[in-house]
Structure 1
Amino acid sequence: MRQLAKFAISVREEDFVLHLVDEAGEATDFATSPEQLDAVIDALDELLAENEEDLFEIDEDGPTYQKPLG
């Protein structure tokens, strides 16, 4: 399975472009409607909320979340 290295989202006239780059530098672009992009964001938000304690360390000084590196 390829590992996501970076991503970008750009706005076009009537839709968005989701630009994904893997660790080897191979890039793939996807045209996406606002509704599709919103569905992806909602799905990621739900997944992260369900697994928040396992994925993030909570900073004791406040509600800042930090994802461990590595």
Structure 2
Amino acid sequence: MRQLIKFSVTVREEDFVFHLVDDAGQTTDFAASPEQFDAVIDALDELLSENEDDEFEIEDDEPVYQKPLS
């Protein structure tokens, strides 16, 4: 299985392009509509949220870093 080592996203007029680079340096590009892009974000957010406590051993009394939105 190839390993993802780098990615970027380019915004075009009506869609987005994911640029994925594997450990052999091969680049694969995927175009995605705004709806598809949102679905990817939602899926990753859900996956990370489900595993966050186990993966990062977050305790209820530990401070949580929040990145400012502005």
CA RMSD of aligned residues (A): 1.9
Partner amino acid, structure 2, of 1:29 = D
Residue 63 of structure 1: CA displacement?
1.4
TM-score (norm 2): 0.79
Structure 1, unaligned runs of 5 or more? 65-70
In 2 relative to 1, CA 45–62 (structure 1 residues): closer, same or farther, beyond 3 Å? same
Partner of 2:9: 9
TM-score w.r.t. length of structure 1? 0.79
Instruction: Report the structure, 1 or 2, having the larger strand content.
Output: 1
- Give SS of 1:51's match: helix
Task: Encode CA deviations 1:4-44: one digit per residue, 9 max, x unaligned.
Answer: 10110010111000110111111000010000010000000
Distance 1:2 1:57 in 2: 29
Give 1 or 2 for the bigger CA radius of gyration. 2
Q: Which runs of 5+ in 2 are unaligned?
A: 66-70
Aligned residues: 64
* Percentage of matched positions with identical amino acids: 71
